[in-house]
Amino acid sequence: QVQLVESGGGLVQPGGSLTLSCAASGSIFRIADMGWYRQAPGNQRELVATITRGARSNYADSVKGRFTVSRDNAKNMVYLQMNSLKPEDTAVYYCNAAISTAGLGNYSPYWGQGTQVTVSS
């Protein structure tokens, strides 16, 4: 059993900052890529940022220069530092991780339950 739990969402004014955290726990052998996605009302879920085990990161164009993804492999955690937040960043943010539970090279995607981020004055 694997569980991803996000934290750190909330209400912030435009131009403000938030840091999201996601902790993976359970029967984990190894975690490959980790990342963050978001879904605003009426929209499809979209990629925000991903990071490889070796810390190579990738960002959506809409967040480049404002968001920073990082991870702690020893703690099985991934973070999203969000600066210069805009109203259009309002969404439910989901943590995602590719996890191997058996050490056989097979990775499956796991998702957190989501955390709400609201940017509003």
At residue 42, the pLDDT reads 94
Average pLDDT over residues 2-25: 97
Question: What is the chain's mean pLDDT, rounded?
Answer: 96
Reported confidence tier of residue 78, pLDDT bands at 50, 70, 90: very high
User: What percentage of the chain carries pLDDT values higher than 70?
Assistant: 100
Task: Using the CB atoms, write b or e for 3-40: b if 16+ within 10 Å.
Answer: ebebebbeebeeeeebebbbbbeeeeeebebbbbbbee
Q: Measured between alpha carbons, how far is residue 54 from residues 20, 32, 34, 67, 70 in Å?
A: 20, 9, 11, 19, 10
Report the C-alpha gap between 68 and 114 in whole angstroms: 18
| pLDDT one-digit tens code per residue, 29-76 | 999 999 999 999 999 999 999 999 999 999 999 999 999 999 999 999
User: What percentage of the chain carries pLDDT values higher than 90?
Assistant: 95
At residue 104, the pLDDT reads 77
Instruction: Tell me if 58 sits within 8 A of 49, measured CB to CB.
Output: yes
At residue 102, the pLDDT reads 83
Radius of gyration of the chain measured on its C-alpha atoms:
14
Write out the H or E segment, with its range, that includes residue 92. Answer: strand 91-100
